[in-house]
Amino acid sequence: MSSRAEAVERAVELRAELEHHAHRYYVLDDPEIDDAAYDRLYDELQALEEEHPDLRDPASPTARVGAPPAERFEKVNHLQPMGSLDKVTDADSLGKWADDVRKRLGSDEPVAYVTEPKIDGSAVSLVYERGTLARGATRGDGLRGEDITANLCTIKGIPLRTVGPPPPPLLEVRGEVYFPADAFARLNERLVVEGRKPAPNPRNAAAGSLRQLDSRITAERDLAIWFYGVGFAQGLAVATQWALLQWLRARGFRTNLHAERHESIDSVARTCEAWEASRAELDYDIDGIVIKIDSIDQQWRLGALHERPRWARAFKWSPMRAETLLKSIHVRVGRTGALNPWAELEPVQVGGVTVSNATLHNEEDINRKDIREGDRVIVQRAGDVIPQVVGPVLPHRSGTTPFRMPKRCLLCDATVVKLEGEVMHRCPNQACSSRGLETLIHWAGQPVMDIEGVGEQLIRRLWDLGLLRTAADLYRLTADQLLELDGFQERLAANVIASIERSKERPLSRVLFGLNIAGVGAVGAQALAAHFGSTAELQSASVEEIQSVAGIGPERAEAIAEWCSQPENRELLDELGHLGLRLGAEREDSPGEGPLSGRTYVFTGMLEAWTREEAQAALEALGARVTGSVSGKTSALVAGENAGSKLAKAREIGVEVLDEAAFAALVARERP
């Protein structure tokens, strides 16, 4: 039991501490204490407020759990209208806008720009009275929105009270509420489990979550926010948008770290272009880049037309998701015998590319998402990966049935099996043609032997003609044989033979990856090549020795030894050796010994002075390993421009982050 005076004092202290730590965590992305320590402070405050109910305060950190349901949302006027942005879609129209701005301002005046990711969420406006959140509203028609204060209070990135220097007594801030990708995936999983329709995209889900009459539902949804500007702010004296972002951040408003200031429109154009490709690395959706004239004075002079400012533009890309018809579901037997379902779609534009088929993962996943032939579905592209079907948009047409995997292999008619604990159905027949054909397609592909001019189509044709059965056959092909095929003339045939020949130079690790040994992917193949240095050494190794290779467990070691003992595989390796492939005792593909041996690095974003390959080679030359994803075993993350989710992950789990300068210094320091 505490006296009231003590309780008041302690509650004030605890709230200040919790606000400080929330700011470190949500805004600065740099927590000082761990979750458990935060929870202890929180629990103490909650207990205190329960003991002394008169201490409760709507701006207390404990008030974020949601309030009892409201009957409807009140309409509220914004203090200043929320406008919208005119868009540009390419460097040309961007340049025209910049010309118009310069004409209006007077051509000698320097103009600087700020670019910010255009968050694809739901716009909100928050009013702070003497630094405390008083009201929050949706955009509505731009003049009047709906009062969703109770819902906004549940979003942890929204300060209930500002921090740092006091803001103007009446302050209206603007931001975009969004769903982080992982929170969106969790929401949809839950909706499906509850037998409800999944949300079609994070933007709809964010808007829907903000308009829940029961704010306890909003509280469960892990929404986030980026702030990007102010509406009404009497007496606020900042001269530039760039300074405004720092001003907001210093007061506890999360501003996006990917904002940039530019002195030329060419630099703006480069940023817009670079982000189209790298946006997939972010853990939230952006549908473009917002470009703002930096100087607030210039903004005033340029003014707006029908609430659309002349001082800003949205550079918009085509969307990365689209809706289309799923015509049918097909199954392809892969090189490991796995049955891979894929969707044949009515062709649709997604992010500037026509998509006519997409992967579906496995039977379980298809049925969990309740995807059926004949459905209208959402298709999504992310970066370079193959398009995926996210889920159906509409209820099923009557008569459609859930998807079932075929019972027999489509190629060899063997009975399909599904092993305990596995999600994939497989053809168990080692002699099934899928293995041979798909192995060859894999062998010629970019991550393996990278044989230019030898794509899936050509391999299928050669397979059908009986000219190819194993990788060795590929190296015995002649230009004359190719000339027999439709569409081949001398030049093309000679080029294809030359590129097959060049692929003999690929290192041992690629060969091992290409052989399609069960469980040996690119990383495992590298580890095996580094350890054994030749196929001969690997072939004579015991299961125990194979198992001693980093990352190879007992089951995989067993499978590798088994593969090596099969006569047809021994023969294949002999043939490849005679044909001149590099199976020999060389270790240059493996990280050698060096000052960074035992250390593992990951790259993200773009470096200015290095290509990714050069940077990786520099680290490997020093003995380090380079891998693709951040984990507890990562020694450091090298983060260039436009770093995305890997950076967030590294920060989250406390992995050291090197910027380009620190990376260059490391390489220079350690170089022998």
Residues found near ligand IVH in the complex (CB under 6 A):
83-85, 116, 118-119, 123, 139, 176, 228-229, 290, 309, 312, 314
* Cβ atoms 254, 226 nearer than 8 A: yes
CB of 122 to ligand IVH, least distance (A): 7
Length of the chain: 672
Considering beta carbons, is residue 289 or 424 the nearer one to ligand IVH? 289
Tokens describing residue 501: 């020949």
Closest alpha carbon to 198 in 208, 207, 189: 189
CB of 108 to ligand IVH, least distance (A): 27
CB of 14 to ligand IVH, least distance (A): 34
Considering beta carbons, is residue 83 or 577 the nearer one to ligand IVH? 83
Tokens describing residue 34: 């761990």
Is residue 535 classed as helix, strand or coil in its secondary structure? helix
Q: For the chain, what percentages of helix, strand and coil (3-state, to nearest 5) are there?
A: 40, 20, 40
- Write out the H or E segment, with its range, that includes residue 305: strand 304-305
CB of 230 to ligand IVH, least distance (A): 11
Considering beta carbons, is residue 175 or 640 the nearer one to ligand IVH? 175
Q: What single-letter DSSP state applies at residue 338?
A: B
Considering beta carbons, is residue 287 or 620 the nearer one to ligand IVH? 287
Considering beta carbons, is residue 290 or 471 the nearer one to ligand IVH? 290
Number of other CB atoms surrounding residue 90 within 10 Å: 11
CA–CA distances in Å: residue 489 to residues 123, 486, 494, 626: 59, 9, 9, 42
Closest alpha carbon to 64 in 129, 154, 136: 154
CB of 85 to ligand IVH, least distance (A): 4
- Using only C-alpha atoms, the chain has a radius of gyration, in whole angstroms, of 30
Q: What single-letter DSSP state applies at residue 23?
A: I
CB of 229 to ligand IVH, least distance (A): 5
Considering beta carbons, is residue 116 or 172 the nearer one to ligand IVH? 116
* Cβ atoms 514, 526 nearer than 8 A: no
- Burial of residue 53 (number of CB atoms within 10 Å: 0-12, 13-18, 19+): exposed
Q: Give the pairing of strands 286-293 and 260-262.
A: unpaired
CA angle 395, 396, 397 (to 5 degrees): 120
CA–CA distances in Å: residue 346 to residues 246, 382, 584: 47, 19, 49
CA–CA distances in Å: residue 113 to residues 110, 293, 299, 624: 10, 5, 11, 40
Considering beta carbons, is residue 290 or 643 the nearer one to ligand IVH? 290
Closest alpha carbon to 323 in 168, 435, 200, 195: 200
Considering beta carbons, is residue 84 or 267 the nearer one to ligand IVH? 84
3-state secondary structure labels for all residues of 355-401: EEEEECCCHHHHHHCCCCCCCEEEEECCCCCCCEEEEECCCCCCCCC
CB of 141 to ligand IVH, least distance (A): 12
Catalytic residues: 118
CB of 321 to ligand IVH, least distance (A): 17
